[in-house]
């Protein structure tokens, strides 16, 4: 089988497993719906490549307006990818970042980390829980179980979260072994996690509509009517959401 088809086969298998987490998907969707209905905020956070998931539902066509991504350029990849790996392991770094973000009991935090072992994701989850917020994690359960925590608590993300969903990735994320090279290739975590996340948000919107609560949704800014449709939401939330 050609490698691109091997990769598609892996993705199909992992998507099937991921979407069999029906109870977890519905619970996460209900918590998000409750948060939106009570005018709380959905916070999102990830480091390294997982920051892509923190942005996945932010200012998105058809997406909820009450999303607050916690985005720190130093924890992303575009300034220094190697430095971001150092900082995500550094205890205490998150506390300074959180000076600009406050959790309350009405809020829900979604944390993304494939390994779930680094201090940044662990301290973010602990901070939200300490303020009474719900914490949902999307992580790689097999990988996380196979490694030690890099936080002095000894905890990993799946042990802290109120609810976690598994992306069913390989240990090390890359899923395809090719003849003639030492390392595997074809990472799957972003694809599976993004699909789970969008599914959860879609389900939460259905829950809200069935309850008679019409959620605020962004339109695509690249449609002819998009800017006009988004104008009121931007005016309402731009001063409240960093990066909007």
Segment 93-139, tens digit of pLDDT: 999 899 889 999 999 999 999 999 999 999 999 999 999 999 999 99
Q: For residue 169, with 0-12 CB atoms within 10 Å meaning exposed, 13-18 middle and 19 or more buried, which class applies?
A: buried
Residue that the structure tokens 């939330």 belong to: 237
For 58-70, the pLDDT digits (tens) are: 999 999 999 999 9
Q: Which CATH superfamily hosts domain 3-237?
A: Glucose-6-phosphate isomerase like protein; domain 1 (3.40.50.10490)
**Residue 130: partners with Cβ closer than 8 Å, 6 or more residues away:** none
The pLDDT, as a whole number, for residue 1 is: 86
The pLDDT, as a whole number, for residue 189 is: 97
Average pLDDT, the chain: 97
- 65 φ, ψ (degrees, to nearest 5): -80, -30
The pLDDT, as a whole number, for residue 239 is: 95
DSSP string for residues in 122-139: HHHHHHHHHTT-EEEEEE
Angle of CA points 180, 114, 152, to nearest 5°: 120
The pLDDT, as a whole number, for residue 100 is: 86
Q: How distant, in Å, are the alpha carbons of 52, 106, 197 from that of 190? A: 8, 28, 10
Spell out, as residue ranges, where the chain has pLDDT lower than 50: none
pTM over 0.85: yes
Q: Is 108 helix (H, G, I), strand (E, B) or coil?
A: strand
Distance CA(98)–CA(102), nearest Å, equals 7
Cα dihedral value 23, 43, 58, 198, nearest 10: -10
């Amino acid at each position: 089988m050609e490698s691109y088809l091997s990769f598609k086969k892996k993705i199909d298998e992992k998507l099937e497993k991921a979407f069999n987490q029906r109870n977890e998907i519905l619970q996460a969707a209900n918590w998000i719906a409750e948060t939106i209905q009570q005018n709380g905020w959905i916070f999102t956070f990830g480091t390294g490549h997982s920051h892509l998931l923190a942005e996945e539902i932010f200012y998105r066509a058809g997406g909820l307006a009450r999303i607050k991504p916690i985005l720190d350029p130093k924890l992303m990849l575009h300034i220094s990818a190697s430095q971001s790996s150092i900082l995500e392991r550094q205890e205490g770094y998150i506390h300074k970042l959180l000076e600009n973000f406050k959790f309350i009991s009405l809020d829900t935090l979604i944390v993304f980390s494939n390994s779930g072992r680094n201090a940044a994701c662990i301290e973010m989850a602990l901070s939200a829980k300490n303020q009474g917020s719900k914490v949902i994690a999307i992580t790689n359960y097999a990988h996380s179980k196979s490694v030690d925590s890099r936080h002095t608590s000894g905890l990993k993300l799946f042990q802290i979260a109120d609810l976690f969903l598994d992306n069913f990735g390989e240990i090390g994320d890359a899923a395809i072994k090719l003849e003639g090279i030492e390392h595997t290739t074809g990472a799957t975590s972003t694809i599976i996690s993004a699909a789970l996340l969008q599914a959860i948000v879609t389900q939460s919107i259905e829950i809200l509509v069935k309850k008679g609560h019409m959620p605020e949704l962004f339109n695509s800014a690249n449609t002819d009517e998009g800017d006009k449709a988004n104008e009121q939401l931007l005016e309402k939330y731009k001063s409240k959401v960093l990066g909007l």
